[in-house]
């Protein structure tokens, strides 16, 4: 979001945000504990977004220490999303006409010489699983098979409708979150799912007023 104001002294602006101090305090407190545990794995940075189903950000962390690194990783950094992206592939499958009980063949998922693997690959007895089982187990094979059946372009179009604007390529690994998306956009996509498909706009600024009370900007909730 870019807001421009002409001939208005900045010290006369009143900015109302959606941040909740209680949420922010809880987020920071728990993040300190998590980062202490992650130090053994040499995790140096962190990013977090707490958002309600209407897209309002109630808490955010853009890094471990703003004084040392003011870069906001929650908004500006793009990283591989991993398994959280799989849900979008399943949505594409549902739109394609599959149902949660439909069986997916995961016995030999090979695309262009590449084959996804699951953590349970040591158990080769299972050749078929339902969509629901695939989602519950976060199966890489099932997600890729569903994306191939519904079409990789369909997965990208679903992502766009969920509010993801990051560049996405039609690679076979697309449904596994191998491509980079910002945390704020990925969280916003899940807020759309929480609203049962109704559009949401991630935001933190609710209103901007002049010192005399004139409204310069107001965020109107999505219908």
Q: What are the DSSP calls for 165-210, one per residue? A: -S-----TTGGGT-SEEEHHHHHHHHHHHHTTT-----BSEEEEEE
Cβ atoms of 27 and 48 closer than 8 Å: yes
pLDDT at 11 over 90: no
pLDDT for the residue 16: 96
d(CA 153, CA 170): 6
Q: What is the structure's pLDDT at 200?
A: 92
Residue 4 confidence class, pLDDT cut points 50, 70, 90: low
Q: Looking at residues 154-170, what average pLDDT do you find?
A: 97
Confidence class for position 65, pLDDT limits 50, 70, 90: confident
Give the whole-angstrom CA distance, residue 174 versus residue 5: 40
Query: Is residue 92 within 8 Å of 155, Cβ to Cβ?
Result: yes
Percentage above 90 pLDDT, the chain: 74
Rounded-to-integer distance, Cα 82 and Cα 121, Å: 18
Residues 52, 20: Cα–Cα separation, whole Å: 11
**Strands 215-218 and 205-210, bridge-based pairing:** antiparallel
222 — pLDDT class (breaks 50, 70, 90): confident
């Amino acid at each position: 979001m870019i807001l421009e104001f002409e001939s208005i002294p900045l010290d006369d602006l009143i900015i109302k945000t959606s941040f909740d101090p209680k949420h922010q305090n809880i987020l920071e407190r728990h993040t300190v504990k998590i980062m202490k545990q992650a130090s053994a794995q040499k995790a140096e940075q962190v990013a977090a977004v707490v958002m309600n189903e209407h897209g309002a950000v109630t808490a955010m962390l853009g890094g471990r220490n703003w004084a040392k690194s003011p870069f906001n990783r929650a908004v500006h950094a793009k990283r591989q999303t991993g398994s959280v992206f799989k849900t979008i592939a399943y949505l594409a499958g549902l739109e394609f006409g599959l149902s949660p009980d439909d069986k997916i063949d995961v016995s030999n998922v090979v695309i262009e010489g590449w084959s996804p693997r699951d953590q349970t690959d040591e158990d080769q007895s299972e050749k078929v699983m339902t969509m629901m089982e695939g989602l519950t187990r976060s199966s890489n094979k099932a997600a890729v098979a569903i994306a191939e059946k519904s079409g990789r372009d369909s997965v990208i179009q679903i992502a766009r409708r969920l509010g993801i604007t990051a560049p996405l390529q039609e690679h076979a690994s697309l449904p596994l979150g191998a491509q980079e998306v910002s945390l704020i956009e990925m969280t916003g996509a899940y807020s759309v799912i929480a609203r049962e498909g109704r559009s949401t706009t991630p935001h933190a600024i609710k209103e901007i007023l002049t010192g005399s009370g004139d409204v310069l900007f107001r965020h109107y909730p999505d219908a």
